[in-house]
Amino acid sequence: MTEPFTTNMEALARRHGRVHDAVLEAGDDPCIRVIGARSGGPVPEVLLEGGAVSVHSKYDPVREAARFIDGVDPAGFNLFIVFGFGFGYHINELLARVARDAVVLVLERSTAMVRSALIHMDLAKALGDERLHLLVDPTEDGLADILRGKSTYRVSFLTHRGSFQISPAYYSNLHRIAKSYLSAKEVNIATLAKFERTWGANIARNAGVFVDSPGAGAFYGRFEGVPAIVAAAGPSLSESIEFIRKHAECAVIVAVDTSYRILRRHGIEPHFCVSVDPQLVNARYFEGDRGGRTVLIADPTVHPSVFRLFRGRRALAGMAFPMLKWIEEAAGAKGELAYGGSVSTNAYDFARRLGASPVVLVGQDLAFTGGLAHARGSYLDEQVFLRTRRFYTPLMFNRFQLTALPAIRVRGIRSAAVHTNQKMMIFLSWFEKRNDPDLVNATFDGACIKGVRHSPADELSFAGGNLDIFGKIDEALALAADAFADPVEVRRAIRRRCEAMIGELDTLVPLLERAVRNSEELRSVVSGEKRDRSKMEYLLKKLAEADRTIESLDALKDMISFTAQRVIHTITEGYEIGDGEDAAADDERVAMRSRFLYMGFLEGSAFIRKVIEKMSTALSG
């Protein structure tokens, strides 16, 4: 073995252990041959069906790499995700130009390509660079591990042309996964910032309904082998109405709140309707509801108006937040639901928990099919006409919807390509990861979901005739009623917990106020020219005492964690917490984040008191 291989492998072992082990196990790939470039450097060629493809320039790979990196703005980004390693010419060039605190993540498909590069190139310096992270054929979890905490980095995606020519589909998919992960983290922090207080307030106001209602789990496993149709409210839902009507007696019909009104207007009474969104607008989907046999499956965080406007029967899902499981422990398990960011993901999961098979999706466009955001006749579609006027037409409104986020073109079900965006790509990715052979997408048009069987609705037919599905639902509710815990005693138990939390809050709030002041003083000490070591140790000791006290609060600490999720997420994902943090020294940054955390706990404590008072009121009626 050549000398570069030995030194390269030593460098690889120090910083890229998994790649090192993979290279040791890999053999040579006969499809990779190495030729000499005119400038003298080695260049790999890959033999494909159409002939040999050169991964780098056969004339001057160093100059080619310099031209490639010339198109990069090193100062404008601090995370560079490179698709394709090849022989590393472009990696050397990139590392020579980016900042010392930048992160360079290189994703390569072929272990044999890396092995060949280590044999023919001296890459020890690059492989030993702390800025470089090399992954070979990474899993989604492996990619997530590297990207964790980097959601706020300024990212530049760089596709190495030679590597892409060899495996275009592979690198396109990796690009989508990486972009989706980073976007999902942005969505998470934005969602927490927008809804964490709403979730808490809604749960408090819904406490009485939660105690008095059966759980969604009452229906789980009761429809083994029965087909289910999950009706989302994508633009093409209208094309699936007759399919739903045809099978309403032999399949479980699961609507989402957005599609419920549409189905009812077409004379279809869904067996279940799933609602999980905490916003008031989602309650309006049920305005004018006449009631009937449909069972509403609601998350406990939905807006309380949902239970006032929906006139039918209801069952509640369990608490999705571990910090609030104590409420469910008192009331009795309600039944879990999986969450994927969209109510249609909950509806699919609910159908699977019923035991239904297959589960058929309709109206799951995940795209702006026909230039529309929602199905005709939905509440949101009607709002388009209420919000438009002479100089702001429905066409203009829909155009705004389409351009609110950057457009992404993906393969369509019937159309060659459809327009979607990053938000819907998150939901699409969620369905792709199910790997469910019993999942069928019969949506008329929209985004094609990889790994999911697509079938036109007119080619699907379910045997079995009238299964009396509503009769089975009635039986399940009757059994749940027989096993129901005494609601009076449950209310008392939760109210006792609320009283205990109020008592702990009286102790906690003054402690957190002192912790905030101590953090501010600590920042002043560590940022000064002369550090007072004894003062610093004293302040750190006081903050440690505050931490121990918070940990000891049995009744309250779960609620504190719940109301401070945005703060915790902001810190763990590396978001800047305020002006000046980026330029602060490490010790000062720690003190700033300490203050940010305790301030979040303090603000959360004030909110908790309001939540507990609302919960006690809701449970006293």
Looking at per-residue confidence, does 184 or 494 come out higher?
494
Contacts of 289 (CB under 8 A, 6+ apart): 264, 309, 310, 311, 312
Domain identity same for 316 and 452 = yes
191 located within any domain: no
Whether the CB-CB separation of 107 and 19 falls below 8 Å is answered with no
Asked if the model's pLDDT at residue 568 lies above 80, the reply is no
Do 66 and 173 lie in a common domain?
A: yes
Q: How would residue 151 be classed by pLDDT, with cut points 50, 70 and 90?
A: low
For residue 609, name the pLDDT band (cuts at 50, 70, 90): confident
> Could you tell me the two tokens for 444?
């008329």
The answer as to whether 190 is a domain residue is no
Last residue of some domain: 432, 450, 479?
479
Please name which of 147, 159, 158 lies closest in space to residue 103, comparing C-alpha atoms. Answer: 147
Nearest CA to 175 out of 77, 105, 126 is that of: 105
Q: Is residue 511 part of a domain?
A: yes
CA-CA distances (angstroms) from residue 311 to 138, 214, 265, 289, 593? 50, 16, 16, 6, 48
CATH number for the domain including 7?
Answer: 3.40.50
- Work out the average pLDDT over 477-488: 85
| pLDDT-wise least confident of 190-199, 566-575, 579-588 | 566-575
Whether residue 41 is contained in a domain is answered as yes
User: In the predicted model, is pLDDT for residue 578 greater than 60?
Assistant: no
Give yes or no: residues 154 and 251 share one domain.
Answer: no
Domain final position from 479, 514, 542: 479
The confidence score (pLDDT) of residue 394 equals 45
Which domain does 504 fall in, by range?
486-620
Last residue of one domain, picked from the residues 446, 479, 512: 479
Query: How confident is the model at residue 397, as a pLDDT?
Result: 44
- Are residues 224 and 326 part of one domain? yes
Q: What percent of the chain clears pLDDT 70, i.e. is strictly above it?
A: 87
Per-residue pLDDT tens over the stretch 254-313: 999 999 999 999 999 999 999 999 888 889 999 999 989 999 999 999 999 999 999 999
Q: Mean pLDDT for the chain?
A: 85
* pLDDT at residue number 533: 81
With respect to residue 109, please indicate whether it lies within any of the assigned structural domains.
yes
Most confident of 106-120, 142-156, 526-540, 601-615: 106-120
Residues 9 and 51 in one domain: yes
Give residue 144's pLDDT band: very low, low, confident or very high (50, 70, 90): confident
Average pLDDT over residues 513-526: 89
Nearest by Cα to 338 from 324, 358, 357, 352: 352
Region 146-170: what's the mean pLDDT?
A: 84
pLDDT class for 193, splitting at 50, 70, 90? Answer: low
368 plus 222 within the same structural domain: yes
User: 389 has which bridge partners?
Assistant: 392
pLDDT mean over 533-545: 87
Beta strands 359-362; 252-256: pairing state: unpaired
pLDDT confidence tier of residue 49, bands split at 50, 70 and 90? confident
- Both 110 and 240 in a single domain? no
| Max avg pLDDT among 231-240, 530-539, 543-552 | 231-240
Confidence grade of residue 392 (pLDDT, cut at 50, 70, 90) = very low
Q: Are 134 and 108 in contact (CB under 8 A)?
A: yes
Is the residue at 212 inside a domain? yes
Q: What is the mean pLDDT of residues 413-441?
A: 89
Does residue 562 lie within any of the structural domains?
A: yes
**Mean of pLDDT values over 368-383:** 68
The reply to whether 18 and 154 lie within a common domain is yes
> What's the pTM?
0.68
Query: Is the domain of 448 the same as that of 469?
Result: yes
Q: Quick one: CA dihedral 322, 324, 326, 327, positive or negative? A: negative
How many domains does the chain fold into?
3
Does the pLDDT of residue 570 top 70, yes or no? no
**Whether residues 350 and 243 fall in one domain:** yes
398 and 535 fall within a common domain: no
**pLDDT at residue 403 tops 60:** no
Q: Is residue 499 domain-shared with residue 546, that is, in the same domain?
A: yes
Q: Is the pLDDT of residue 383 over 70?
A: no
Rounded Cα–Cα distance for residues 294 and 474 (Å):
11
Name residue 227's amino acid.
P
Q: Is residue 436 part of a domain?
A: yes
| Mean pLDDT value of segment 339-363 | 94
What is the helix (H) or strand (E) element at residue 160, kind and residue range?
Answer: none
228 band by pLDDT with thresholds 50, 70 and 90: very high
Q: What is the mean pLDDT of residues 141-156?
A: 77
